[in-house]
Structure 1
Amino acid sequence: MTTISSNFEDSIDLLKSRLDSQWIVGTPLGIGKPNPLINHLYQHAKNNRHLSLDIFTALSLEIPHGNSLLERRFLQCFSQRFFGQYPELEYIADVKRNVVPENISVREFYMQSGKMLHSNTAQRSYVSSNYTHVARDMVNREVNVILQMVAVKRTATGNQYSLSCNPDLTLDILRTAERKGKPRPVVIGMVNEHLPFMAGQAAVEASFFDLLHDNSSDYFEPFATPAQPIGLTDYSIGLLASSLIQDGGTLQIGIGSLADAMVYCTQLRQQNNNVYKDLLDETKISSKFNSLIDQTGGTDKFKQGLYAASEMFVEGFAHLYEAGILQRKVYPDAQIQSLLNNNKITERIEAGLIKKLVDWQVIDEVITLRSFERLQHLGVFKTDLTFHKGKITDRAGQVYSSDLHDDDNLDAIEQNCLGDCLKHGAVLHAAFFMGSKRFYQWLHALGDDQKPLFQMTPVSQINELYGGEALDRVQRIKARFINTCMKVDVLGAAASDALDNHQVVSGVGGQYNFVAMAHALEDSRSILMLRSVHASKKTVESNVVWKYGYCTIPRHLRDLVITEYGVADLRGQSDEVCVQRMICIADSRFQEGLRAQAVAHQKLSADWQVPAAFKNNTPEMISQQFKSAQTQGYFPAYPFGEDFTAEEKTIIGALKWLKLNTRNKYATLLTLIKVQFVKASEKEMVYLKMMKLSDGKSFKEKLSAKLLVHALRHL
């Protein structure tokens, strides 16, 4: 019997009654965490040092706070407006300051990108594990508590519940524990009416939980990610990636501006195809990579559309759905899906289908209860039919034999028992979602006929072929697994989650799974996107490197790599060809150095030179290529909506200018000299008031105000 509670102390009492003094808590990555409940348990463990609390999770989301005084003031202003009363996870601050009590541990297998680079606690406690192996690892660690935020649908007949954004590990943990004969963890759900209700395996009964905490005072808006601007470098990469997607195929993408750029360009391909093709010509993509595009992707509109199989349901998929691109439905039956793929049947149920299914050995000549239920679930048979002791009965009471040897009986079934169209098709399967406020509103607004198209599932179903390989292979045809990385060496090995000193930036997540899957599935490709250079305060360094001391994707899984300067097709190629193709998509400032290293280590002929078509790989060249398109209104900074006000964007611009002009000691000194006699105008005072610097008292506040005004005048 599930307990319904409005008091967090009831959760504490339940755990005390079920468990000893060692609480091993699993809670979802991203937005599925019940923050107020976790904070209550964390504080309880702080106050009761005899209790051992081990939190195992990932992607603990933190409201940005900034480093300098100007950054902090700006983010305080923005966060108050944008995040409102979002309850931050209290353990994050303790982890960052390395003051987590000795009786508590926080272990993450994926961290918010770059947020924990300087935390000893986080770096030491990081668990490196493929997303699909996390459930196994948590069960082996004997997790005994699951805390999850859940969505609710209140109806006249009772409440319905959904794991919503995060069925990813919860279902896998419970199934793995049961399979291994381990005790079932205590499952506590915290209801949040702001969380979108999702279908698929995410929908669960109240009995799924040991306790459901439901108190309106604890509801909160899920963490939303502010839209990031998309620059020309990103658009150049996105344009290339969009040309490698094949109509009628499958798509997986991640989060970030590179993925957003790819989505925008894919929309452009669909909605303004002539402009799209002109851009490919103007940027010389067509002439440089025509053969690869013809073999691997396409530039025409999507007729069949795409299906998404992605660990993360990102906002980009919503835009692709609205653009009529994400429309290829897949069905939960390998044989039926294979027939659809081969155009032997359509989604519309047509007369003669039963006989064809017999001829194709999809069903036997005598229908069993199992095959009847299978066909009825798929929509081949009407929903109002019943089956009993080898007889099919329709709504009118007409009885049909299950023996299909009789032609008259078969004809009668064909005429009276068939449905209209296939059912339970989905355009997307995903394990978790996260995005902007607009994305959450879009999910909330989906109609009852649309929501079943977006199926939330365990991560084991999405990130692996094992366990349902026959179905996965016919659903995930012509797949393009598109991900981002930080560094790629000239032989195709990629670093995506950590630095060469072993400091963890984020985590491997599911990237390795999808790259490996691209090699396991026929006609599928892995695409890794990265910007060609990384600019720090002091230097610019190439992201295409000779060698890097850490890799996420080994070189034997090399495939397609994209920078803003082109595509390197590395699959099945010799080391020398890989080196040549990677140098061709590197920034020209670093090409000669890479070439010399390759020659010195016998990986490249000394006679080889960078082809003329790739000798001008510079940011200036990219700007020139997109100049005309930008003038016409294409490639905006925020194509899918923005979260910053005009005033906030102005301040962001000023802070960026300041960062650039204080990049070293000399530049900083020069800037400080120039701001000594700066006085704010009435117009500039508006920005100072926003930043609470209009009447600064301390020297630091007064100097920061002068620096901001100085920067504003350079925009």
Structure 2
Amino acid sequence: MADTPEVYTDADTMARAVYQANGGEIRLALPLGLGKPITIVNALVRAAVDDPALSLKIFTALSLQRPDPSTELEKRFLGTAMDRLFGTAPSLSYVDLIKRGDLPDNIEVSEFFFQAASWLGNDYAQRQYISANYTHARDVLISQKPNVLAQLMPRDGARFSMSSNTDISADLFARRSAGEMDFMAVAELNDALPYMDGPAEIEAREVAMVLEPPRQVDLFSVPRRPVADAQHAIALHVSRLVPDGGTLQIGIGAIGDAVANALIARDRAALHDLWRTAPFTLQGAEEGPFRTGLYAVTEMLVGGLVALFEADILRREAHDGAVVHAGFFVDARDMYQRLRALPPDRRARIRMMPVSFTNALYGDEPTKRDDRRDARFVNGAMQVSLLGDAMSDSAKPGQVVSGVGGQFNFFEQAFALDDAHAVLTLPATRQSGGDLGSNIVWQLPVTTVPRHMRDVVVTEYGAAFLRGLPDEEVIKRLICIADSRFQQELAGSAKKAGKLDPDWTVPPAHAANTPATIATWLAPYREGLLPDYPLGTDFTDIEQLLVKALADLSEAQSDKRALLSLIWAGLTATPHAQEGPAMERMGYDATPSLAEPLQARALRGALRRLA
């Protein structure tokens, strides 16, 4: 390796040089998510499309895509705000080729984790999906003998940082240094990435080529979604399960945001009235503030963990002085800015590590066990069966929504560590095609976490501790946190299978599990303690209003009576105070007219219902 990398300013010239250095055949290792060097990747793809004699095989995960609006209302809402909400980075050209069905034979793409729902119905992506736990994905990659690793990196003098993606890359660099691998590393500079030091740093001599593009790509941003009543309620239950001095992991999304918000409120002794007025028995006894503080170990550094770090709740130090160990990050743009703005000594307390460290106990196990005491690994699921197995990555057999990722890794740790728990969160119900369904079901079509590893399941109606219990008791506890509209059907299925006492009935304390019960409980606190966007948002005030109205309208689209009801409300109900600006933001007239499209009338009705 040379002491200094070759520097390029033109991506196509650099791509030709990379192909030439590897005999025209590239087996490309790309980090998941944010760390993809889009300019370099697109140049490599472009060269392979132009020259069938070249070969390009890509192994990666989480190829980030901006949404592709499919309805008129989606186009009106996202059209003018797309760049502001998601960033202006160009799309990954291999993603575009796969979507169009135009990927040439000399290019192959395999992913082990999808951006949620992005590849449903795409035959190529579904066929090329590799199912692997996050800790095993590295070994799958190594077996394919990659000869090029390409990554987006910031630079500080003569050193580079893997920044957002130490997850697998850090192990690959370490193996190369040990003589166990041989590949060319290339980097694309990006100053917007926070410079993470420690294990994330590499010396300039580790990189063979560097692209200094005339215009650096914008970082992909994931807009935060509003937190609904059910998600806040789930978080309130979870907040009672986290002991002071313990270890925490939470995932991305509204529930993760809500959990962080609830823990901050608990630390400020602001939840006692909420807990006191709960309409059902609360599990977990952890109510006090964090005197010792928490330590976080997570594959994904999410905005909620950064908020807990800023609130000084994440302050219990691991043996190396870090209070957070994480493998990768991708989030809303303000999180990147907040990480960059931290003083270097404080930012150093967040240490980016390989997932072989964060997601497993192998390697210096005694130290990891000591650091990871009283762990609570909090992750989401799509559905849970009455026997306790979980579905988290598939919509139906054969169609992958996202992937296993690290969820199973954290279940393994929860069972291996003393006084640890894996906490699965999910809303009790879902809307699909206009139909209401239960997320607690009798049986699952696909299993991500098997029933013999059942632990803790949390819905808005409570927490169910399942580990080590007989099937019948597991069934009872899960029915008690299911929506009451489905409890009798669930109990009937279990009784028919001989798994539940024929005389058992739902206890009165759990017989009113309805959205109205939750709404009544939380209503006094929604404006202050439990806001729609506890970690902030890139949506304007008008857009925040429209997000709610559009969600209601979308739910009504598959129900003719509900849609007609919204249209009627658009004609007769009292206008919302912000109706005019909201309609103008969507490209409609501020004032109603008899000639306006029915879609506009229905949206107006949804706004008026919110009033």
TM-score normalised per structure 1 = 0.80
Tell whether the 8 Å contact from 1:25 to 1:146 is kept in structure 2 after alignment: yes
Shift of 1:612: 1.1
Q: Distance in 1 between matches of 2:463 and 2:583?
A: 46
Q: Distance in 2 between matches of 1:621 and 1:714?
A: 20
Determine helix, strand or coil for the equivalent of 1:61.
Answer: coil
Distance 1:675 1:527, change over 3 A: closer
Tell whether the 8 Å contact from 1:188 to 1:210 is kept in structure 2 after alignment: yes
Distance 1:701 1:22, change over 3 A: farther
Distance 1:288 1:665, change over 3 A: closer
Distance 1:71 1:451, change over 3 A: same
The reply on whether 1:125 has 2:128 as its aligned counterpart is: yes
Shift of 1:494: 0.5
Q: Cα RMSD (Å) of the superposition? A: 2.6
TM-score normalised per structure 2 = 0.93
| Structure 1, unpaired ranges of 5+ | 333-424
Q: Distance in 1 between matches of 2:508 and 2:237?
A: 20
The reply on whether 1:270 has 2:267 as its aligned counterpart is: yes
The reply on whether 1:248 has 2:245 as its aligned counterpart is: yes
Tell whether the 8 Å contact from 1:166 to 1:431 is kept in structure 2 after alignment: yes
Distance 1:591 1:524, change over 3 A: same
The reply on whether 1:202 has 2:200 as its aligned counterpart is: yes
Aligned match of 2:41? 38
Aligned match of 1:171? 170
Q: Distance in 2 between matches of 1:549 and 1:178?
A: 44
Determine helix, strand or coil for the equivalent of 1:449.
Answer: helix
Matching residue within 5, 8, 24 for 1:5:
8
Tell whether the 8 Å contact from 1:465 to 1:517 is kept in structure 2 after alignment: yes
Report the AA paired with residue 19 of structure 2. Answer: K
Tell whether the 8 Å contact from 1:561 to 1:569 is kept in structure 2 after alignment: yes
Q: Distance in 2 between matches of 1:229 and 1:664?
A: 24
Tell whether the 8 Å contact from 1:65 to 1:75 is kept in structure 2 after alignment: no
Tell whether the 8 Å contact from 2:48 to 2:106 is kept in structure 1 after alignment: yes
Q: Distance in 2 between matches of 1:44 and 1:475?
A: 48
Tell whether the 8 Å contact from 2:455 to 2:465 is kept in structure 1 after alignment: yes
The reply on whether 1:134 has 2:122 as its aligned counterpart is: no
Shift of 1:319: 1.2
Shift of 1:671: 6.8
Q: Distance in 2 between matches of 1:472 and 1:318?
A: 22
Q: Distance in 1 between matches of 2:454 and 2:308?
A: 28
Aligned match of 1:213? 211
* 170-179 or 475-484: bigger deviation: 170-179
What does the per-residue CA deviation read over 1:162-183, in whole Å, with 9 as the maximum and x for residues that have no partner? Answer: 000001111223445676844x
Q: Distance in 1 between matches of 2:332 and 2:500?
A: 46
Shift of 1:23: 1.4
Tell whether the 8 Å contact from 2:19 to 2:25 is kept in structure 1 after alignment: no
Tell whether the 8 Å contact from 1:229 to 1:637 is kept in structure 2 after alignment: yes
- Higher Rg: 1
Report the AA paired with residue 260 of structure 2. Answer: V
Tell whether the 8 Å contact from 1:136 to 1:173 is kept in structure 2 after alignment: no
| Structure 2, unpaired ranges of 5+ | none
Tell whether the 8 Å contact from 1:115 to 1:505 is kept in structure 2 after alignment: yes
Aligned match of 1:361? none
Distance 1:594 1:179, change over 3 A: farther
Distance 1:669 1:91, change over 3 A: farther
Matching residue within 271, 296, 308 for 1:308:
296
Report the AA paired with residue 331 of structure 1. Answer: H
Matching residue within 57, 60, 67 for 1:64:
67
Aligned match of 1:351? none
What does the per-residue CA deviation read over 1:158-215, in whole Å, with 9 as the maximum and x for residues that have no partner? Answer: 3331000001111223445676844x11110111011110022101111111111123
Distance 1:225 1:587, change over 3 A: same
Aligned match of 2:389? 493
Distance 1:692 1:673, change over 3 A: same
- Percent identical pairs in the alignment equals 38
Aligned match of 1:24? 27
Q: Distance in 1 between matches of 2:426 and 2:59?
A: 30
Aligned match of 1:222? 219
Report the AA paired with residue 569 of structure 1. Answer: F
Shift of 1:712: 4.4
What does the per-residue CA deviation read over 1:607-657, in whole Å, with 9 as the maximum and x for residues that have no partner? Answer: 2211111111111111111123336x2211111212111222333334233
Matching residue within 537, 541, 564 for 1:646:
541
Matching residue within 526, 530, 539 for 1:635:
530
Determine helix, strand or coil for the equivalent of 2:26.
Answer: strand
Shift of 1:20: 2.6
Shift of 1:599: 1.3
Report the AA paired with residue 500 of structure 2. Answer: L
Matching residue within 472, 486, 489 for 1:593:
489
Q: Distance in 2 between matches of 1:485 and 1:36?
A: 35
The reply on whether 1:427 has 2:422 as its aligned counterpart is: no
Aligned match of 1:192? 190
Determine helix, strand or coil for the equivalent of 1:218.
Answer: coil
What does the per-residue CA deviation read over 1:463-515, in whole Å, with 9 as the maximum and x for residues that have no partner? Answer: 11112212211111111111010011111100101123221010110000001
Distance 1:681 1:324, change over 3 A: closer
Matching residue within 294, 315, 329 for 2:317:
329
What does the per-residue CA deviation read over 1:443-482, in whole Å, with 9 as the maximum and x for residues that have no partner? Answer: 0111022021010011111111112212211111111111
Q: Distance in 1 between matches of 2:206 and 2:457?
A: 44
Tell whether the 8 Å contact from 2:434 to 2:555 is kept in structure 1 after alignment: no
Distance 1:67 1:185, change over 3 A: same
Tell whether the 8 Å contact from 1:500 to 1:548 is kept in structure 2 after alignment: no
Aligned match of 1:282? 277
Q: Distance in 1 between matches of 2:552 and 2:239?
A: 32
Determine helix, strand or coil for the equivalent of 1:63.
Answer: coil
Tell whether the 8 Å contact from 1:96 to 1:118 is kept in structure 2 after alignment: no
Determine helix, strand or coil for the equivalent of 2:79.
Answer: helix
Distance 1:665 1:705, change over 3 A: closer
Shift of 1:685: 6.9
Determine helix, strand or coil for the equivalent of 2:452.
Answer: helix
Report the AA paired with residue 190 of structure 2. Answer: N
Distance 1:185 1:577, change over 3 A: same
Q: Distance in 2 between matches of 1:109 and 1:234?
A: 28
Matching residue within 462, 467, 489 for 2:363:
467
Shift of 1:438: 1.6
Matching residue within 106, 110, 114 for 1:107:
110
Tell whether the 8 Å contact from 1:77 to 1:690 is kept in structure 2 after alignment: no
Q: Distance in 2 between matches of 1:543 and 1:472?
A: 35
Shift of 1:36: 1.4
Shift of 1:683: 8.7
Q: How does 1:384-423 map to 2 (within 5 A)?
A: none
Distance 1:120 1:330, change over 3 A: same
Matching residue within 73, 98, 103 for 2:101:
98
Tell whether the 8 Å contact from 1:585 to 1:617 is kept in structure 2 after alignment: yes
Aligned length: 602
Q: Distance in 2 between matches of 1:523 and 1:124?
A: 40
